[in-house]
Structure 1
């Protein structure tokens, strides 16, 4: 038995070990930080059209339409705040050592999976919300017949862009799940 244990120990010690490329991980983290900061700016900028409508177009809208835009704005604000919260690890964290880089990179990749999943779900919410918005205005006779082409174009554009966004988010979710698995296997974390 002792001989078998020695052979097993020798075999175990001969196993190849993957070395961590610390510089590559730090570079990946820094790149992730700048991407997340750009995403935060884009998230905040996405609120500008709603803010513009609420501040400067209130007189041109009915009370019902304005109320619906306020509801949409509130939901969008909650969504953007959630995205910024998920981006916080990479966007705003400063680390001092490699262990911090690894820990924060692992957290941010996990959050990127959540962001992609949330984006996929939000595509459906936006589509249902737009349909409901136009449906409510239609049932209350607040859609102007001369603007039907604009309404249809907005819906078609939304369906196309939401479908593309859904596919993009689905691919990102899979990519980040694979990245998380790879990073965890390199750092021996389950």
Structure 2
């Protein structure tokens, strides 16, 4: 067996190494800081319309709508808390050197993958819930002579909800893919810094 360590060492030393663009990493982390703070604000404000509906309109809502609104609020609040927890890395970072910048950015992008994953799946769950709720309303309207929502209004709300949910699903799926690709890039940068 021949010892090729000299040949391997020579080959290794001739490999081109991509230089780390420190300024780009710093800019990306700064942009992530402001984006995450904005998203935190959006996350916190998200359940507010549901709470306002329940506070001001609960006596006017049919029982089915009241149940769906309460269920949505109860499901939403833990997700908001979890998303705030995931966004904390970039939103309140104190990174001072390149290694810590890359590590914070890596943790935040990994968390962004999780956020996009949960967002993607909450969209199709929303579609199912919309179909169940409005399907029940359609059945109730067709089978009862009592005045309920008109079929046209139900169809419009159902269609609008499905289009928005499907659009959000496509958006979240794209973001998840983008974040996974960026995570691989950052893993390569981290290995260079070690």
TM over 0.5: yes
User: Residue 18 of structure 1 contacts residue 186 of structure 1 at CA under 8 Å; is this kept in 2?
Assistant: no
User: Residue 83 of structure 2 contacts residue 115 of structure 2 at CA under 8 Å; is this kept in 1?
Assistant: yes
1:124-135 matches, cutoff 5 A: 124-135=124-135
Q: Deviations over 1:47-103 (max 9, x none)?
A: 121011011101212445323321111112122222222212112232233222111
Match of 1:181 in 2: 184
1:155 and 2:158 are equivalent in the alignment: yes
1:93 and 2:93 are equivalent in the alignment: yes
Match of 2:50 in 1: 50
1:33 and 2:33 are equivalent in the alignment: yes
Q: Deviations over 1:82-131 (max 9, x none)?
A: 22222121122322332221111001111111111111100011112223
Q: Which has the higher mean CA deviation after the structures are superposed, 86-95 or 118-127? A: 86-95
- Corresponding residue pairs, total: 188
Match of 2:123 in 1: 123
Secondary structure of residue in 2 paired with 1:108: helix
Residue 165 and residue 64 in structure 1: after superposition, are their counterparts in 2 closer, same or farther (change >3 A)? closer
User: TM-score, structure 2 length as denominator?
Assistant: 0.84
Secondary structure of residue in 1 paired with 2:59: helix
CA RMSD of aligned residues (A): 2.4
Residue 85 and residue 137 in structure 1: after superposition, are their counterparts in 2 closer, same or farther (change >3 A)? farther
Secondary structure of residue in 1 paired with 2:191: coil
Match of 1:164 in 2: 167
User: Residue 65 of structure 1 contacts residue 137 of structure 1 at CA under 8 Å; is this kept in 2?
Assistant: no
Residue 63 and residue 159 in structure 1: after superposition, are their counterparts in 2 closer, same or farther (change >3 A)? closer
Could you tell me how far apart the structure 2 residues matched to 1:46 and 1:185 are?
36
User: Residue 127 of structure 1 contacts residue 159 of structure 1 at CA under 8 Å; is this kept in 2?
Assistant: yes
Match of 1:67 in 2: 67
Task: Kindly state the Cα deviation for residue 140 of structure 1 after the two structures are TM-superposed.
Answer: 6.5
- Unpaired runs of at least 5, structure 2: none
Secondary structure of residue in 2 paired with 1:187: helix
